[in-house]
Amino acid sequence: MDRRIATITLDRVIPAVFETSEVTASEVWLRRVELRRPGSYLVEAASGMGKSSLCSFIYGVRRDYHGTISLDGRDIRSFTAAELAGLRRSHLAVVPQELRLFATLTAIENVMVKNRLTDRYDEATIRRMFDRLGIASRADTPVSRMSLGQQQRVAVIRALCQPFDFILLDEPVSHLDAASNAAVAALIGETARANDASVIITSIGNRLSLDTDTTIRL
């Protein structure tokens, strides 16, 4: 996809493992929902209601759902593997709840693996991002020796090392204190505005300190 994505549409989507009776109160499952760019969305959910599944469905890494998810009218299931790779490189960014960092690599190496694919920033710029998030002294530390909160900040920096139309943030600050939360929110907000992009945040507890336009109950 060469042009930018303006709208993600969910049309009567429901995880395959869910029963219809389980989602009667949801504002997402089995509804028609349009997520537009630019914008900011908070998806609130109780545990077990499928917030991580939602991110995985939109990102195209899982297809175990009923209904249709489309990007500007095209069903994401119709994208080839090469097209999906292009989407994830230039249009859709993600911070998954499980982070998916390489434990044996250092924090900066984890980010540079992504940055080499996108050629988004030079290393000095990336190290300044580490400094902004309070982990400059840990940049050359193996991820396996970092706390979960520090790892979350590494995952955020990695996600920002690409152009994007939408960024999916699945519980991105669940292990951060208020000051670190605010720093992460500021960096994400600035980068999203620079990209004229939308932010989609999921939360069951500690929320990202970023003002959102729309709150949706999952």
Report pLDDT digits (tens) over 104-142.
999 999 999 999 999 999 999 999 999 999 999 999 999
Q: Kindly write down the DSSP assignment for every residue of 123-175, as one continuous string.
A: HHHHHHHHHHTT-GGGTTSBGGGS-HHHHHHHHHHHHHSS--SEEEEESTTTT
> By the 8 A CB rule, do 181 and 209 touch?
yes
| Confidence (pLDDT) at 20 | 78
pLDDT of residue 51: 95
Domain boundaries, the chain: 7-217
Name the residue among 139, 127, 203, 216 with its Cα closest to residue 172: 203
Rounded CA-CA distance 39/27 in Å is 18
pTM: 0.96
Q: Are 17 and 192 in contact (CB under 8 A)?
A: no
pLDDT the model gives residue 19: 83
Residues of the chain with pLDDT under 70: none
pLDDT at position 63: 96
Largest CA distance in the chain: 52
Q: Residue 24: what pLDDT?
A: 87
Looking at domain 7-217, its CATH class is: alpha beta
In which residue are the tokens 């939602």 written? 54
